[in-house]
Amino acid sequence: MVVGEPLPSHVSLLRNEKIIMTLRRRYPSIFTSILSLVGAGFLLGGSSTIRYIAQYAGSFENVAALLYAVIIVVAVFFVVAALIGYFYVHGHLYILTDRRIILSTKFVTISVRDVAYSEITDIIVNQGPIGRILNYGSVIPLSPGVRGVYAIPYPSMRRFSYAKVGLKDVSEPTRIMDELFGLTRLHR
Amino acid sequence: MLLGRQSSDSVKDVALPVPKEVSIAAGEHVLMVLGRSYISFVSLATVGLVVLWVVIAALNFYLPSELVWVLLPLNVFCFLLLPPLLYGLGYVYVKGHRYIITNERIVMFRKFVGILLRTVTHDKITDLIVNQGPIGRLCNYGRVSPITAGMIMPMGAVIFSISGVRSPYEVRDSIAQLVKAMEPKEQ
């Protein structure tokens, strides 16, 4: 939460607009995403991989070699995902000014959402079990243009969207929600 | 800008404690703190269990006798282990719900494994929907859904709502009065 950080080129402030706080996405959050991806991959492809390995059950060396290969593939995937995830996470920037919230994501593509405090209808906070332990979570300000379907906590039910509509995986989400509520009160 | 924690003089009619994750702003007064009734979960879980038991019983009846060994662990799980697990976890799930109504907003809070929190100010509420099932009508509980332009039907009514509260029509009336009080005065 640093005020005075240089703004990215795709974000500009209005005249007399002041930055109240700048938030960034927490890096540990990417590991939960990677773990869920690995888990989903195991659920989808695990049984066929085990069946494939079982074909070579006669030769212990072959089974061991295949198991090692699977472990190495998973480990390489994890390292690559963590590396890419670092740049992905650092591309997220959320700026709370005295007039609006600017949500910016820069990773391959650029996506920016501006929402004025007066337009916010609901604020949703969503923290997963690991987020509760590490004290991070998502704060989603809804408006008549960006509706509740984006705030559903179950990813399988969420409509796929490139637009980044919430303050994803920020530190102390309940405190950020309180700050947002205070700002919306001022702009009622 | 920082919001103060809830002070005792800001509470008017509170039976349940406000969770520590929810802060009450300066000048904001807690009018009601509601919880979810356990019966609302029990009725839903019982219907699910009965359906599952019927399916398992049908499997027991129709599957050939050679496959009984497959059904044994399934029967043990569904008839012996699942009910206490479901009702026990359900109790914790229900106790994790808090609905805080203040003079400015409604906070819907759920703490179970993760945390889900929705806050909506009274001036943004466009509709109030009350739903009561048949058991809810008998036991006087139901769901009050505050709908806004940002949280439209059916999402606002199903996931982010005041679910399983006692006397839902009284709750609806209380919120309606607060919404009315927040409306801008006519010229």
| pLDDT tens profile A122-176 | 999 999 888 999 999 999 998 887 766 655 555 544 444 444 678 989 999 999 9
Question: Structurally, how many domains does chain B consist of?
Answer: 2
Predicted structure pTM score: 0.80
Same domain, B86 and B116: no
Residues B66 and B136 reside in one and the same domain: no
Least confident of A32-46, A50-64, B129-143, B159-173: A50-64
In a domain, B3, yes or no: no
pLDDT tens readout for residues A51-75: 776 776 667 777 777 788 888 988 8
For residue B12, what pLDDT is reported?
45
Average pLDDT, rounded, for chain B: 85
Query: Which chain A residues in 110-169 lie under 8 Å from chain B, judged by CB atoms?
Result: 120-129, 131-132, 137, 142-144, 146-149, 151-153
What confidence score (pLDDT) does residue A102 get?
92
Which contacts (CB < 8 Å, 24+ apart) does range B80-88 have?
B82/B49, B82/B52, B83/B49, B86/B45, B86/B49, B87/B42, B87/B45
The CATH number of residue B140's host domain is: 2.30.29.30
Is residue B111 one of the residues assigned to a domain? yes
Which pLDDT value is given to residue B185?
A: 61
Query: What does the DSSP assignment read for A40-84?
Result: HHHHHHHHHHHHHHHTTTT-HHHHHHHHHHHHHHHHHHHHHHHHH
Rounded to an integer, what distance in angstroms lies between the CA atom of residue B109 and that of residue A124?
10
Q: Is B16 helix (H, G, I), strand (E, B) or coil?
A: coil
Greatest Cα pair distance, chain A, in angstroms, is 75
Query: Would you call A182 and B1 a contact, using CB atoms and an 8 Å cutoff?
Result: yes
Which 8-state DSSP code applies to residue A110? E
Nearest to B117 among A147, A174, A182 (CB): A174
In a domain, B73, yes or no: yes
**Which has more pLDDT, A62 or A86?**
A86
Distance CA B44, CA B40 (A): 7
Dihedrals phi, psi of B49, to nearest 5 degrees: -65, -45
pLDDT above 90 coverage of chain B, percent: 60
Interstrand relation of A109-116 and A100-107 (parallel, antiparallel or unpaired): antiparallel
Interface probe, candidates B112, B159, B161, B182, chain A, greatest A C-beta count within 10 A: B159
- Does B119 lie at the interface with A, CB-CB under 8 angstroms? yes
pLDDT tens string B16-62: 889 999 999 988 999 999 999 999 999 999 999 999 999 988 888 88
Beta bridge partners of B130: B144
Does residue A8 contact residue A106 with C-beta atoms inside 8 Å? yes
Residues B156 and B108 grouped into a single domain: yes
- Are B139 and B115 found together in one domain? yes
The pLDDT of B171-182, averaged and rounded, is 91
Look up the ipTM and state it. 0.79
Indicate if the pLDDT at residue A105 is higher than 50.
yes
Look up the domain containing B85 and give its range: 41-92
**B46 and B73 together in one domain:** yes
Are A124 and B152 inside 8 Å of each other by CB? no
CA pair distance A52, A174, nearest whole angstrom: 47
Range A80-107 average pLDDT: 91
Rounded CA separation B175/B152 (Å): 18
Tell which B residues from 94 to 113 touch A, by Cβ distance under 8 Å. 104-105, 113
Closest residue in A to B159 (Cα–Cα):
A152
pLDDT at B1: 38
B176: in domain: yes
Q: Are B110 and B172 in the same domain?
A: yes
Listed residue (B89, B102, B121, B91) closest to B27, CA to CA: B102
Residue B132 pLDDT level (bands cut at 50, 70, 90): very high
Q: What is the pLDDT of residue B5?
A: 41
Q: Are residues B114 and B172 in the same domain?
A: yes
**Does B125 share its domain with B177?**
yes
